[in-house]
Amino acid sequence: MQKTKKSVAKRFKLTAKGKLLHRSPGTRHIANTKSSKQKRRLGKAKTLSETHTPPLKRCLPFGL
């Protein structure tokens, strides 16, 4: 039986169509130097590129 990689499960979310969503880095601190536009874009989850998806999907055998 293959186990779920918990480090991957914490960082990524699987969509209904099988794409992976991830949070943007750079939101934790030093926010006063970033523009409002940049902070707004960093707040949204982004889809992971197609080339990085297959190895991470193998770490999530049962989905999320």
One-letter identity of residue 39? K
- Mean of all residue pLDDT scores within the chain: 94
Confidence of residue 1 (pLDDT cuts 50, 70, 90): confident
> Which ranges of 3-59 does DSSP label H, i.e. alpha helix?
6-11, 36-42, 53-58
pLDDT digits (tens, 9 = 90+) for 14-48: 999 999 999 999 999 999 999 999 999 999 999 99
pTM: 0.81
> How far is 43 from 56, CA to CA, in rounded Å?
22
CB 43 within 8 A of CB 27: yes
